[in-house]
Structure 1
Amino acid sequence: MRPRSSLKRVVRYGFLAVALGFGAWAVARQWDAVVAGFAALSWPMLLASLVAVVAALLGAMLTWRTLLADLGSPLPPRQAAKVFFVGQLGKYIPGAVWPVIAQMEMGRELGVPRPRSAAAFFLMMPIQLATGLLVSLVTLGWDRYGWLLLFLPVLLVLLEPKVVNAVIGFGLRKLKREPLDRPLTRRGMLTALGWALAGWVCYGMHLYFIAPETGPLFAVGAFALSWCLGILTFVVPAGAGVREVAMVAVLSPVMASGPAIAVALVSRIVIIMGDLICAGAAGIAARRERL
């Protein structure tokens, strides 16, 4: 085995071990606090919540895969799932760079140029923010959350393909890298937005299964808003803590603070489980494909 290949393997498995370790630590650190929340749940509802999270994560993967294909690097579903889901485990490591580094390196082995992987990764944030804020505004009510309209014009400008392509081109020139071979198209952006919206619906249903008293529409908006506030904190692993605080605040009109805290913590555990399941299943599927 070549030394370079051995080093890549060590780095890859080292990254996976560290990411899984932080994920397991997140579960263990919160476990005692959510025992009461789990006790109040029925296993069928908990399983339904986990299934909804897996569906939401698939929506996120398809959003990313759509962007990558539109930029010129279509990946087969199994390979795309492995790169996305395993790379996403890096969000549990402090710092915001690990998921994109992992996706860039795994994508490069499949023939995806690093700048293209980075562009698809960073485009996910404005897409998730724009669709998440729009979903929050529609489902939570204009009277209470009308201030969200202040952010939408900026995000909609950032989602215009001409603006996106200009920003990406400027960044690559500053980094003295070659420009992208194919610019982002409006069709690709609209398709990605559609998958992102589907993902928010699934995330909302996962919250509804944990706390049926919220109602499905309110649950969709509550989760979308708390997630948007969470992903704005780049240095906190996976928005840990911020999302829970925001969720408790958003749930306050329909739920007392004690039950709301339990719901937020149970939601966090279910999402961590979904991340680990998706990463494990994608890795196994990709390995079987090679055999």
Structure 2
Amino acid sequence: MNLVKRLLGLVRKPAVKWLFLAVAVGLAVYAVWSTWDDLVDAAGRLSVATLAGSAVLTVAYVLCTLVAWRAVLADLGSPLPGRAAVAVFGVSQIGKYVPGGVWNVVAAAELGATHRIPRRRSLAAMAVAVLVSVVSGAVVGTVCLPFVSSGTLGGWTWAAVAAAVLLAVLLLPPVLTRVIGLAFRLARREPLEKPLSWRGLGATALWSVIGWLFAGAQVWVLATGLGLDATPRTFALAVGGYALAWVVGFLIILVPAGAGAREGVLLAVMGAAMPHAELLLVALLSRVLMTLVDLGLAGIGGALARGSRRAVPAAEPRSSQP
């Protein structure tokens, strides 16, 4: 137990997180350098239409994550207008690129406070939205990946379906509310002010799944632009591969936004479907597009932040009459 505590304490140190980030960036640079000629050749085969379509799909994915988080927040009692939601969510997402894994949550709580959202509720909403993303991503990945096999799927299919069903049970409001309550107790935090509803959690899960389809479609469009066969099976591979890659990248908290880990999983999952250089370019372009859209949304959110704040009514003057 003492060894575990020491390891956790070491992992939480900022210097360790920056070290892992440096290692991830260094490995990425080496991967690009070692296949530079092939990458340049592959990049020359990408059309402007392919890049534009991928960019549109990336925007759709990020907006789905925004709508999913907004649905949780409304379900917990703090509905936000569209402009305010973009302002809070957009700016807060920059925090996920800082080592530590919590800065986007902290930023959302502070920005939400300017819109009269209790910080505890903001923290709970972001925690629920992230948990739904992780669980739904695992479910989507588990469901999609078995269907990329060229042979008979047999028992693996049934094992995957069973695992997906078990994971999906976590998305049921009574189950997820208890899981979150347990997590808050372990973290010595106050529980949710009210349980999650079927409607609110259902909307969050639905938008999360739609988001995974858009994210996978982004990877699929890039990959088909570099020679991957455009078939339903390869689409399932791209969707399932990206969803699992994001989940793994999220769970590795030592690097911001799953840098390196996400790309590594995507390369491993889709490695048999297309040449390494082309797939590496797909992974890198996917990361670049996601980052650019996050930065763009943050810029829009920052521009809207001042105008979207709810006006705080002035206190009424006290009357001298009894």
CA distance in structure 2 between the aligned counterparts of 1:124 and 1:264, rounded to whole angstroms: 25
Question: What's the CA shift for 1:131?
Answer: 2.0
Q: Which runs of 5+ in 2 are unaligned?
A: 1-20, 148-152, 312-322
Question: What's the CA shift for 1:232?
Answer: 1.5
CA distance in structure 2 between the aligned counterparts of 1:73 and 1:281, rounded to whole angstroms: 22
Specify the SS of the correspondent of 1:94: coil
The counterpart of 2:206, out of the listed 194, 198, 201, is 194
- 1:120 to 2:161 alignment: no
The counterpart of 2:193, out of the listed 181, 195, 201, is 181
CA distance in structure 2 between the aligned counterparts of 1:67 and 1:83, rounded to whole angstroms: 14
Amino acid at match of 1:234: I
- 1:253 to 2:253 alignment: no
Q: Is the 8 A contact 2:100 2:255 kept in 1?
A: yes
CA distance in structure 2 between the aligned counterparts of 1:159 and 1:54, rounded to whole angstroms: 25
| Aligned equivalent of 2:291 | 272
CA distance in structure 2 between the aligned counterparts of 1:88 and 1:57, rounded to whole angstroms: 10
The counterpart of 1:99, out of the listed 97, 104, 109, is 104
| Aligned equivalent of 2:223 | 211
Q: Is the 8 A contact 1:132 1:200 kept in 2?
A: yes
Greater percentage in helix: 1
- CA spacing shift, 1:118–1:221, aligned 2, 3 Å: same
- After TM superposition, list the pairs within 5 Å mapping 1:1-291 onto structure 2: 36=40, 38-141=43-146, 143=153, 146=157, 148=160, 152=164, 155-170=167-182, 179-212=191-224, 213-215=228-230, 216-289=235-308
Q: Is the 8 A contact 1:126 1:159 kept in 2?
A: no
Q: Which has the larger radius of gyration?
A: 2
**Greater displacement, 259-268 / 132-141:** 132-141
CA distance in structure 1 between the aligned counterparts of 2:250 and 2:183, rounded to whole angstroms: 22
Question: What's the CA shift for 1:157?
Answer: 4.0
TM-score norm. by structure 2 comes to: 0.73
Report percent identity of matched pairs. Answer: 38
TM-score norm. by structure 1 comes to: 0.80
Q: Which runs of 5+ in 1 are unaligned?
A: 1-21
